[in-house]
Amino acid sequence: MKVLVYADVEAGQPAAVARELVTGARALAGPGGRVDLALFGADPSAAADMGVDRILTLPALAAAPYDPAAHAAALSAAIAAAGPDLVLMGYTTAGLDLGPVVAIRHDLGLVSYCQTARAGDGAVETESQIYGGKLIARAATPLPALLLMNVGAFAEAAPAPGQPEVVTLEAAAPQGLRFIDATAPDPDAVDITRADRLLCVGRGIGEADVIEEAQEVAGLMGAELVGSRPVVDAGWLPKERQVGKSGRRVKPALYLALGVSGAPEHIEGMGEAGLIVAVNTDANAPIFDHAHYGATVDLTDFLPAFRAALEGR
Amino acid sequence: MHIAAILRIVPDQNEELEIDDSGADIDREWIGLKLNEFDDQALEEAVLLKEAAGARVTAVALAGDGAERQLQTAIARGADDALLVDHDIDGIPGARAAAHLLAGPLRDLGADLVLTGVQTPEDVFGQLAPFLAGLLGWPTLNAVHGVSAGAGGLEVVQEYSGGRAARFAVTGPAVLGVQTASRPPRYVSGSKLRQASSATIARAAGALPDGFAAPRIAALAEPARSNRAEMLDGDAEAVAERLAGLLAERGLLGGRE
């Protein structure tokens, strides 16, 4: 099988997710198969050790910031040049920007949120996490197809020094979008990635009033208070305290999740915490599949009780 | 500027989801339905843009359970018009089918900016905004959290992992997959909702291309429960005491060293 991997780029280097996808691509391609890497935001030399057969590049984009329209045109040129049976992308912002666009252009089947992918008979068999991770959807999609793979679905490939062939593409520069500037997290804001204890509140806290009580409990624990996306979207906590795909990725010694359902996008940001404790009234919440300890008591009862337990020590 | 805000009704994933007899869909008989939370954000951003820079906002939905009521609510929230797109799909169109159904009516509407939510809880076969962009031939930005009107057009903030973001100038028509509006969605009073319940909803017909084959889920399953948490039993006080004890044993309470 011929597999084309699109590489997300961070700070001029292929992102970790790109190295994960190469692992999956090698397994899917099988012996005698070919793995190509579409690398547009970095110099091809940055991917020489990724263990791919060819690197497809477009020189005008190598040093340019990410531009979805330009990358869609370039990825389209890569698909035309490589004729892949399967295109692998991460379920990332670029994956969302480009995947469906090129799937329409090249009439590719598309499956999102994939946790596994296996080559079938003229098809690719996938398992996707849907409904916030509560259910798994199995599908068999005829080739050629494009998969948006969850971050972490494959292990990161170990460096494999080699001399992959570099193929230079051409694509017209599209109009309509212009990159202005990029922003990194505010260095003066709290850096939750450095905290060794985090108390996270999720949608299940119900109302903004609970934030104050949670803040006090966090203080007693020696923890920083953080939130999942719905809490930040509601304006209850500032953006720099958001954990998950669109927030920060954290790895504290302790992560106490209150009212957090455990959607895959949240797990992506905290799944490697040392000790995960979850309190959620929904016994089927996916967070319990990732927590070490759990409880299903009501938060309005738990918070004052936990506060009293901490104060009593 | 004419903004189309596309609204979708989805199952409330916070409710208990059961797999139906086919094994390939959830039991939709009794499940609660709600506006897709990201579409809620997209509608808010459309109305904020209108208020800040002047624009006409048309709320658009595919015909289906609850669609007309959501369109009326959108008018109560500040949309100028509503458009319901009829189709002959039995069941709920997936995102790719929805994009085909909506592309023609959106062209006819004359919209030059389309806002919709970045994803839904069940769009396993791809997302609406970039599918639409592909069909319309317009650029798309997704994971958008902030759109504002600038001197030469729109400024759009796109989010990436790790708290990074970038600003883009959008100088022509575009489709945006919105994650978060610049402000939380507004509260709508009952009187405004009653007023909007008599609003006129325009209708258009959507069509699929010849030979369109919708992708299908082969089977739904519960996730493997092999790494389930050890559950702490008892009432809130008992759980709190036990947890405090567990954390203290591990040196995870009290002041940092």
The model's pLDDT over A34-66, given as tens digits with 9 standing for 90+, comes to 999 999 999 999 999 999 999 999 999 999 999
Q: How many CB atoms lie within 10 A of CB A29?
A: 21
Question: What's the pTM value of the predicted model, to 2 decimals?
Answer: 0.93
pLDDT tens digit sequence for A212-263: 999 999 999 999 999 999 999 888 999 899 999 989 999 999 999 999 999 9
Interchain contact A271–B (C-beta under 8 A): no
Q: Which fold has domain B2-205?
A: Rossmann fold (3.40.50)
According to DSSP, residue A268 is labeled H
Same fold, A2-168 and A192-311: yes
- Per residue in B195-246, pLDDT (tens digit) is 999 999 999 999 999 999 999 999 999 988 777 899 999 999 999 999 999 9
> Which residues of chain B from 170 to 209 reach within 8 Å of chain A, CB to CB?
170-174, 177, 179-180, 183-184
The complex scores an ipTM of 0.94
Domain ranges across chain A: 2-168, 192-311
Q: How far is CA B57 from the centre of its chain?
A: 17
Inspect the interface and report whether the beta carbons of A239 and B163 lie closer than 8 Å.
yes
Q: What percent of chain A has pLDDT over 70?
A: 100
For residue A30, what are the contacts with CB-CB under 8 A and spacing of at least 6? A1, A119
The CA distance from A252 to the nearest CA of chain B, in Å, is 11
Tell which residue, B142, B73, B76, has the closest CA to residue B114. Answer: B142
CATH of A2-168 among 3.40.50.2300, 3.40.50.620, 3.40.50.300, 1.10.10.10: 3.40.50.620
Strands A109-119 and A123-130: antiparallel
Identify the CATH homologous superfamily for domain A192-311.
TPP-binding domain (3.40.50.1220)
Q: Is B136 on the interface with A (CB under 8 A)?
A: no
How far, rounded to the nearest angstrom, does the alpha carbon of residue A189 sit from its chain's CA centroid? 23
Q: Enumerate the residues of chain B whose CB falls inside 8 A of the CB of residue A245.
A: 161
A-chain CB neighbours of B135 within 8 Å are: 104
Pairing of strands B113-117, B174-178: parallel
Neighbouring residues of A33: CB distance < 8 A, sequence distance ≥ 6:
A1, A2, A3, A26
| pLDDT for the residue numbered B255 | 62
Q: Which parts of chain A fold into alpha helices (H)?
A: 16-29, 68-82, 93-106, 209-221, 229-233, 264-270, 299-311
Q: Which of A140, A176, A180 sits opposite B174 (nearest CB)?
A: A176
Angle A93-106/B95-109 helices, nearest 10 degrees?
80
> Using 50, 70 and 90 to split pLDDT, how confident is the model at B257?
very low
Nearest CA in chain A to B141: A97
Interface check for A99 against chain B (CB to CB < 8 A): the answer is yes
DSSP structure class, residue A41: S
Phi, psi for residue B203 in degrees, rounded to 5: -130, 150
Contacts of A232 in chain B (CB under 8 A): 180
Would you list the domain boundaries of chain B?
Answer: 2-205, 229-257
Q: What percent of chain B is predicted at pLDDT more than 90?
A: 88
Taking CB atoms and an 8 Å limit, are B41 and A233 in contact across chains? yes
Record the tokens describing residue A23, joined without a space: 């692992």
Looking at the complex, report in whole angstroms how far the Cα of residue B241 sits from the nearest Cα belonging to chain A. Answer: 6
Please say if the pLDDT value at position B256 is more than 50.
no
Which chain A residue is nearest to residue B134, measuring alpha carbons? A101
